[in-house]
Amino acid sequence: MADSRAAPDRFAFAAVDVHYLGAAGARAALVTASDARFAELAGTLTILVAEAEHYRPGEFYLRELPPIRAVCRHAGPFALMVVDGYVDLDPQGQPGLGGYVHAEFGAPVIGVAKTAYRTATHAAQIRRGHSARPLYITAAGLTIAEAAALVENMAGPFRIPDALRTVDRLARGLEQADRDLGRATSDALA
């Protein structure tokens, strides 16, 4: 019988993250679950991207989206995606990373940011665990209130939900994914 954690489920709930490896490019990670609480992970994936764009202020998505695209093409479609960062950067809807992820994949997206962004005054602030520091929640495809409630109820006792801690650790190479996809080909980034 096949290991049910070997490949993420279709129509899954997903969280993605990217870590930069200097001249070695970037590692993108994906975790999926069958429920929005991410109570039990269905699968994990990582992929290496040989070249990563340089950071450009205000254009963070240009750096993050190609590695996210590379790892997500091996799973999905998704019922919901969670990104580390903002969906929109201001109340007028200037897109952040999550806005571009929403446009690319068509799924509702929740942005979970660990630090305040000066123009994102519309972001909901939630506190999890015993932390006095808030998480900043933005969303596309669902209301910010719905997104905040989902993040408040995600599995894990700490400020950062367990699924987001796991996807971060996978992207940093601190944990091994169920499936390591090796290096992405150039067509995986387009």
| Confidence at 5, pLDDT banded by 50, 70, 90 | very low
Task: Give which of 103, 81, 63, 65 is closest to 14, Cα–Cα.
Answer: 81
Q: What is the pLDDT of residues 94-106, one digit of tens each?
A: 999 999 999 999 9
Cβ(100)–Cβ(18) under 8 Å? Answer: no
- Would you place residue 24 in the very low, low, confident or very high pLDDT band (cuts 50, 70, 90)? confident
> b/e per residue, 170-181, with b = 16+ CB within 10 A?
bbeeeeebbbeb
Share of the chain above pLDDT 90, in %: 73
- Taking CA atoms, 41 is separated from 14, 16, 109, 175, 185, in Å, by 9, 13, 18, 14, 27
pLDDT at 117 over 90: yes
Q: Does residue 69 contact residue 79 with C-beta atoms inside 8 Å?
A: no
2: confidence class by pLDDT, cuts 50, 70, 90: very low
Sole residue written with tokens 């408040």: 152
Tokens of 185: 């080909």
Q: Give 6's pLDDT tier (boundaries 50, 70, 90).
A: very low
Average pLDDT over residues 28-51: 93
For residue 122, the tally of other CB atoms under 10 A from its CB is 15
Does the structure show a pLDDT above 60 at 9? no
Strand partners for 48? 27, 183
Tens of pLDDT, residue by residue over 138-171, are 999 999 999 999 999 999 999 999 999 999 999 9
Residue 30: per-residue pLDDT: 97
Q: What is the pLDDT of residues 55-84, one digit of tens each?
A: 666 677 777 899 999 999 988 889 999 999
Question: Which domains, from first to last, does the chain contain?
Answer: 12-183 (3.30.2170.10)
Please provide the average confidence, as pLDDT, over all residues in the chain: 89
